[in-house]
Amino acid sequence: MQRYSGFGLAKHALSHHENWERQWRNPTPKKQYDVIIVGGGGHGLATAYYLAKEHGITNVAVVEKGWLGGGNTARNTTIVRSNYLWDESAALYEHAMKLWEGLSQDINYNVMFSQRGVMNLGHTLQDMRDIQRRVNANRLNGIDGEVLNPEQIQKIVPIMDCSKNARYPILGASWQPRAGVARHDAVAWGYARAADALGVDLLQNTEVTGFKIRDGRVFGVHTNRGDIEAKTVGCVAAGNSGVLAKMAGFRLPLESHPLQALVSEPLKPVLDTVVMSNHVHGYISQTDKGDLVIGAGIDGYNGYGQRGSFPTVEHTLQAIVEMFPMFSRVRMNRQWGGIVDTCPDACPILSKTPVKGLFFNCGWGTGGFKATPGSGHVFAWTLAKGQTHPLAAPFSIDRFHTGALVDEHGAAGVAH
C-alpha cells in the first residue's frame, strides 16, 4: 500500500496529483470467505481491519448494499467522548477513546481527530446533581472530567448567553477536555483502505437479502450478486439491524428512528469546542471549514426514510438560538437524516445470537460514531474467537432476559 506522507504529497504534486493509487480495490465476490461482515459503515470496516491486523484473518468480505460509509457513518455530527455513567459503558467508550488517540498514525490516514473538548450544560439543580454524579463516576474510572461554573463556561465560550436572563439560565456544565470531533468520512475511508491493504474484499453495491441457515447454524448469505459462504457472519447494519434479524428468524429489542442534523453556511471561527444541552435540547460545534454543525434528538416515530420532520429541526434551532443569540441570522445550508437503531437502555448490543456463527453489533443509536474504533476492535476479537470479548460481555442480548440492563439514558439522551 502506498504510504501517505508530506513527501508523497510533494512528489505527486509534480504529476498534478494524477497518479495516486486507488484507495481500495473493487473485487468480484469470492464464493467463500472465513468471515463475512454485513455493513460497510465505520463499525463494519473497523471490524474487518482489526480482524486482519490483530487476528491474522484476512479472508474477509465486507458486504455493503450502498457505498462505504454512506449510512450513519457519513451522516453523524462526529462527537467523540467517553464520559458515560456506568462502569461497563465507560470502559467500552474509553477503550475507543484510547484507540482514537492513535488512529491516524495506526491506519496512516488523517481522520482529523480534534480533542477540542465537549461541554454538557446543566440548567436545573437536578441537571447539576446528575452532572456532578457523572463526573465523579468518570474520575473513578480514570476518565477525565470536570464540573464547570458559569464563569468558567463563559471563558471557554464567550459567545454563549450565560446570563441569568435566559429562559433556562446555565448553572454549570460537565467538561471532558479529551473529547472532541473527527472527520467521519475519513474514518470510513481510512479503515477501508487499511483493511483492503491487508487483503479484505470490500464489496459495494452488494445487498444481503437473506441468510443461509441449516440446523441452527449460519453458513453464508444470499445477496443480489449471488450467494457467498462463510461460517462466521457479523452484522453491523445500524438502522437496518432489525430487518436483518428478521431475515435470520429472530427479533431484536431495537427501534429504528430517523435522526437528523443540519449545517449552516460557513462562518469565521467563533466556536472551538462542542456544546451540548439536554435541557433546551440542542448541540453545536464548528467545522474547520466554518460550518456550524447542529443536531438534537430523534424523531418520535419509527421509519426508514433518511430524512426527518420539520418540528424537530425547528425545536433544535430554537435551542441553538436560545444559547447563542448571535446565530439567529445565520442561514442553514443543508439538512439530512440517518436511521438510528435505539435500544431500550440506550446501550449497544454486541452479541452472539440464537443462530450459531451469526453475531450482531448494533443498537448504538444516536451515539455510535464515538465508539467506532472500540466497537470494531472488540467485535473483531469476538468474531475471531467465537466468544464475547470481556468489554462486550455486558452488552449481550441476554441482558434483556436477565434484566441486567445498563441504563445510559442520562449520559446518552440527546447528548450523542
Q: Please report the beta strands in 116-191, taking only residues with DSSP state E, as ranges in sequence order.
A: 118-122, 146-148, 172-176, 180-181
Of residues 124 and 209, the one with the C-beta less far from ligand FAD: 209
Quote the least distance from Cβ 367 to ligand FAD, whole Å: 4
Contact criterion met (CB below 8 Å) for 221 and 228: yes
> Whole-angstrom Cα distance, residue 403 to residue 67?
38
Quote the least distance from Cβ 202 to ligand FAD, whole Å: 12
Show the site string, 332-361: x = touches ligand FAD by CB under 6 A, - = not. Answer: ------x-x---------------------
- List 37, 61, 63, 121, residue binding ligand FAD (CB under 6 A): 63
Quote the least distance from Cβ 339 to ligand FAD, whole Å: 7
Show the site string, 80-109: x = touches ligand FAD by CB under 6 A, - = not. Answer: ------------------------------
The yes or no reply on residue 367 touching ligand FAD (CB under 6 A) is yes
The yes or no reply on residue 38 touching ligand FAD (CB under 6 A) is yes
Of residues 117 and 295, the one with the C-beta less far from ligand FAD: 295
The yes or no reply on residue 394 touching ligand FAD (CB under 6 A) is no
- Nearest CA to 391 among 160, 157, 82? 82
Surface-to-core class of residue 311, CB atoms within 10 Å of its CB (0-12 exposed, 13-18 middle, 19+ buried): exposed
**Cross-sheet strand order for the sheet of 358-362:** 201-203, 60-63, 35-38, 232-235, 358-362, 349-352
Q: Which stretch binds ligand FAD (CB under 6 A): 75-83, 107-115, 152-160, 325-333?
A: 75-83
The yes or no reply on residue 190 touching ligand FAD (CB under 6 A) is no
- List 36, 40, 90, 347, residue binding ligand FAD (CB under 6 A): 40
Residues 37-69 as b/e (b if ≥16 CB within 10 A, e otherwise) read bbbbbbbbbbbbbbbbbeeebbebbbbbbeebb
Of residues 126 and 205, the one with the C-beta less far from ligand FAD: 205
Written in H, E and C, the secondary structure of 205-237 is: CCCEEEEEEECCEEEEEEECCEEEECCEEEECC
Inter-axis angle of helices 372-385 and 87-100, to 10 degrees? 100
The DSSP element (H or E) to which 202 belongs, if any, is strand 201-203
Q: Residue 307, SS3?
A: coil
Show the site string, 141-170: x = touches ligand FAD by CB under 6 A, - = not. Answer: ------------------------------
The DSSP element (H or E) to which 292 belongs, if any, is strand 292-298
The DSSP element (H or E) to which 258 belongs, if any, is strand 255-264
- List 35, 36, 42, 316, residue binding ligand FAD (CB under 6 A): 42
Q: Which stretch binds ligand FAD (CB under 6 A): 26-34, 58-66, 133-141, 400-408?
A: 58-66
- Within 13 Å of residue 80, how many CA atoms lie on the same side as its CB? 30
Q: Which stretch binds ligand FAD (CB under 6 A): 14-22, 94-102, 253-261, 323-331?
A: 253-261
- List 49, 109, 324, 369, residue binding ligand FAD (CB under 6 A): 369
Of residues 78 and 232, the one with the C-beta less far from ligand FAD: 78
- Report the site for ligand FAD in 215-244 (rule: CB under 6 A): 236-238, 240, 244
Quote the least distance from Cβ 252 to ligand FAD, whole Å: 14
The yes or no reply on residue 65 touching ligand FAD (CB under 6 A) is yes
The yes or no reply on residue 259 touching ligand FAD (CB under 6 A) is yes
> Whole-angstrom Cα distance, residue 360 to residue 369?
17
**Cross-sheet strand order for the sheet of 332-342:** 146-148, 172-176, 118-122, 274-277, 282-286, 292-298, 255-264, 332-342
The yes or no reply on residue 64 touching ligand FAD (CB under 6 A) is yes
Rule CB under 6 A: which residues touch ligand FAD? 38-44, 63-66, 70-73, 75-79, 207-208, 236-238, 240, 244, 259-261, 295, 338, 340, 364, 366-370, 416
